[in-house]
Structure 1
Amino acid sequence: MPSTRIETRRGWLGARKRDFLEAVQGALVAGIRIPEADRCVRMAEYDEEAFILPGHVGSNYTVIEISLFTGRSLDAKRRLYAALVAAVEPFGLAAHDLKVILHEVPRENWGLRGKPGSEIELGFTVEV
């Protein structure tokens, strides 16, 4: 049940925004093995002046921040990082132009349907 936010410079994706979102969703499914229907991926685009970038990255530098339940193994995180790099490569985004940040949240700190996430049957395994 991750919540994913993509931040990037406005304009470089053009009409491919939805395809990019779907590619990131596919990487989440492959990497941390969430159900395909578990979807919460959104994009924020910023004007070029709103980014200060390291000198070694390109102008399409993108940050993907994923809030997710605590419990994924290091192997699952490795799968996710590799899947994300592979998913965005067809859009011309090089591996060095992608930063991925995971925010692990204990299930009891995630509210779902008016209850703590620790009291909800998710329908999938978090500890992968």
Structure 2
Amino acid sequence: MSQVKIYGVKEPLRAIRDRLSDVIHACVVEALHFPPNKRAHRFLYLEAEDFFMPEGRSEKYVIIEVLMMEGRTVETKKKLINLLFERISAQIGLSVNDIEICILESPAHNWGFRGKTGDEASLTYPINV
């Protein structure tokens, strides 16, 4: 199971939303072996005055949080992060300085979907990759 939250200043983020979602999803499918039909993205649009960002970032700065069940290897998580930097920069045109990524993991029993906890649900894709 994985969900993605994307935070950014409203207008610049809204302008790239669909393309960014496609790029992020392609990276998740490749790195985490997700089925192509498993996309769960949420875009959180912020007013510029409500989004304090580190020095040296532009109005296109985005924060990407990937929430997922524990079980992936360090190499798999690094592959996802590197794919996101590479492809978002190349395909969307964002500077790597304007992309921040955080993977947040929790045990499968902390997830609930389709009426079950994550450790009881059967998944059609591997977690331990």
Is the partner of 1:29 in helix, strand or coil? helix
Alignment partner, residue 94 of structure 1: 95
- Post-superposition Cα deviations, 1:60-111, rounded to whole Å, max 9, x if no partner, equal 1110011101011011011100111122112221112111111101111101
Change (3 A) 1:51 1:75: same
Q: Identify which range, 22-31 or 63-72, moves more after superposition.
A: 22-31
Q: Return the offset for 1:47.
A: 1.2
- Pairwise mapping of residues 58-97 of structure 1 onto structure 2 (< 5 A)? 58-89=58-89, 90-97=91-98
Which amino acid in the other structure matches residue 5 of structure 2?
R
Hey, what's the Cα distance between the residues in 2 that align with 1:14 and 1:61? 12
1:106 aligns with 2:111: no
Report the TM-score when normalising by structure 2.
0.92
| Root mean square deviation, CA, Å | 1.3
Alignment partner, residue 55 of structure 1: 55
1:122 aligns with 2:123: yes
Task: Give unmatched runs, 5+ long, in structure 1.
Answer: none
Which amino acid in the other structure matches residue 30 of structure 2?
A
Is the partner of 1:118 in helix, strand or coil? coil
Task: Give unmatched runs, 5+ long, in structure 2.
Answer: none
Alignment partner, residue 46 of structure 1: 46
Whether the 8 Å CA contact 1:8–1:44 is kept in 2: the answer is yes
Alignment partner, residue 37 of structure 1: 37
Alignment partner, residue 7 of structure 1: 7
Hey, what's the Cα distance between the residues in 2 that align with 1:17 and 1:103? 22
How many matched pairs?
Answer: 128
Change (3 A) 1:22 1:70: same
Whether the 8 Å CA contact 2:19–2:92 is kept in 1: the answer is no
The runs of at least 4 consecutive aligned structure 1 residues that moved more than 3 Å come to 13-16
Whether the 8 Å CA contact 1:21–1:42 is kept in 2: the answer is no
